[in-house]
Amino acid sequence: MRAISMRHDAPHRRPAGAVLALAAAGLTACAQPGNTVEIALAGPVSTPAYVSMQHAANMAVAEINAAGGVGGRTLELVVRDDSTRPERAIAIATELVADPRVVAVVGHLNSAATLAAAPIYNDPARGLVNVSPASSSPLVTDAGPWTFRVCPSDLQHGPALAAWAVNHLRDRRAVVLYSNDDYGRGVLTSFSDAFRALGGQVLSQDPYLPAMLDSIGNPDPYLRRGIRNHMNVLVIAGQAADGAAVLRQARADGYAGAVMGADGLTGLRDAGSVANGVYVSSAWLPDQPGEASQQFVQAYRERYNAAPDQFGAMTYDAVRLLAQAIGEVGPDRTAIRNYLERVGRGSPAFRGVSGTIAFDQNGDVANTNVVVGVIRDGKLVSAQ
């Protein structure tokens, strides 16, 4: 029996040496070869900062199939790379909705892609469940009844960062540079509102576009103005690649104060020594306690010789949650959506490696925690 089945041109991965002891409802003693159920993985899977998304999905599918599959069927992963581009996400969603073999989607990863694709997945005539591991924009709340997410929103990330800056760092003069998209604006608003409520002062808030960072829109003027105004917190509300460019410029300008951002900066851990000391909010960190969490970390390390991040943990949980749904109600798109709608609301919450998943009426997770980590020597670990 194959440990994992994929429609994708990525290299095959060996199954993990240890299968996590996390039972999924509906798994049977032996999957039937040739009888498959397909779910899709849609996200920036070839981007180094987000590779844990595919790694964790592969691992989850391998474990599920090794334990018997879903309802006696082999689970197959259909992988599509959106490169975080909204236009690509729309094309992928259109393809997946039209493919009757695909019964659910894990993705997309970033808010812009999820929001762009949501109208396709939420087509009343042929809806397709999509479960995002990391789209944190508040706008995802209203994306539609077929869109769910297993991560907290920016309404939780921003206040967590603001509280850390004021209560732990004792810093109250912030400059915010934000990516001019749904994600960046969401972090900007939630951080700034919470920071001011705690007595902090937002000295300036300036947008950027990734293409501007190496041209006339280089953030240098914004940073120099912040330094002149004695900022002691620099908030970068954007993705890791952009964050690295802003951070390098800030350090070159002589800024030595605190730098922080939300989960989009997770991949900044790979930027080298310049990223040491940067604070990043996250839905999950690999050093947090909990038996299920640590079993997942151990199995992931054994399989990939690396530590997982929140994107991997949330993707892993999304795959296993969908497998549980399929095992309970079968590979029917509407039945799967209706099953997810009841998770935590009439049906038991799902106990994942990232914590408890219980959906509210909008498909958001209720009562999720945001933790603050710090980058140290290429790792994002819990801040103390």
**Contact status, residue 166 vs residue 201, Cβ threshold 8 Å:** no
Q: What is the pLDDT of residue 32?
A: 45
- Structure confidence by residue, pLDDT tens digits, 148-184: 999 999 999 999 999 999 999 999 999 999 999 889 9
Domain locations along the chain: 5-152+288-368, 154-282
- pLDDT above 90 covers a percentage of the chain that reads 83
Rounded Cα–Cα distance for residues 339 and 103 (Å): 13
Q: How many CA atoms lie within 13 A of 176 on its CB side?
A: 29
Q: Per-residue pLDDT averaged across 280-288, rounded?
A: 95
SS3 content of the chain, % helix, strand, coil (to 5): 40, 20, 35
- Structure confidence by residue, pLDDT tens digits, 57-86: 999 999 999 999 998 999 999 999 999 999
- Structure confidence by residue, pLDDT tens digits, 109-120: 999 999 999 999
Q: What is the pLDDT of residue 209?
A: 80
Q: Where are the alpha helices (DSSP H) in the chain?
A: 51-66, 86-98, 111-121, 154-163, 182-197, 220-228, 240-252, 291-304, 310-329, 333-342
Peptide bond before 157: cis, by omega within 30 degrees of 0?
Answer: no
Residue 31 has pLDDT above 60, yes or no: no
The Cβ of residue 143 has, within 10 Å, a number of other Cβ atoms equal to 24
Residue 214 has pLDDT above 50, yes or no: yes
Q: Per-residue pLDDT averaged across 327-347, rounded?
A: 97
**Confidence category of residue 369, pLDDT binned at 50, 70, 90:** confident
Residue 33 has pLDDT above 80, yes or no: no
DSSP lists the bridge partners of residue 259 as 234
CATH placement of domain 5-152+288-368: 3.40.50.2300
**Confidence category of residue 43, pLDDT binned at 50, 70, 90:** very high
Q: What is the pLDDT of residue 34?
A: 55
Of 297, 303, 290, nearest to 351 (Cα)? Answer: 290
Least confidently predicted of 21-35, 158-172, 312-326, 347-361:
21-35
DSSP string, 185-202: HHHHHHHHHHHHHTT-EE
**Confidence category of residue 6, pLDDT binned at 50, 70, 90:** low
**Contact status, residue 364 vs residue 141, Cβ threshold 8 Å:** yes
Q: What is the pLDDT of residue 258?
A: 98
**Contact status, residue 333 vs residue 104, Cβ threshold 8 Å:** yes
Residue located via tokens 């309404």? 155
Q: What is the pLDDT of residue 210?
A: 74
Q: What is the pLDDT of residue 14?
A: 27
Helix/strand/coil for 361 = coil
Rounded Cα–Cα distance for residues 130 and 122 (Å): 9
Query: Cβ-count burial of 225 within 10 angstroms (0-12 exposed, 13-18 middle, 19+ buried)?
Result: middle
β-strands 173-179, 201-208: how paired?
parallel
Of 112, 50, 52, 45, nearest to 85 (Cα)? Answer: 112
| CATH classification for the domain delimited by 154-282, as one of 3.40.50.2300, 1.10.3720.10, 3.60.70.12, 3.30.1490.190 | 3.40.50.2300
Residue 213 has pLDDT above 80, yes or no: no
**Confidence category of residue 366, pLDDT binned at 50, 70, 90:** confident
Q: What is the pLDDT of residue 25?
A: 34
Question: What's the predicted TM-score (pTM) here?
Answer: 0.87
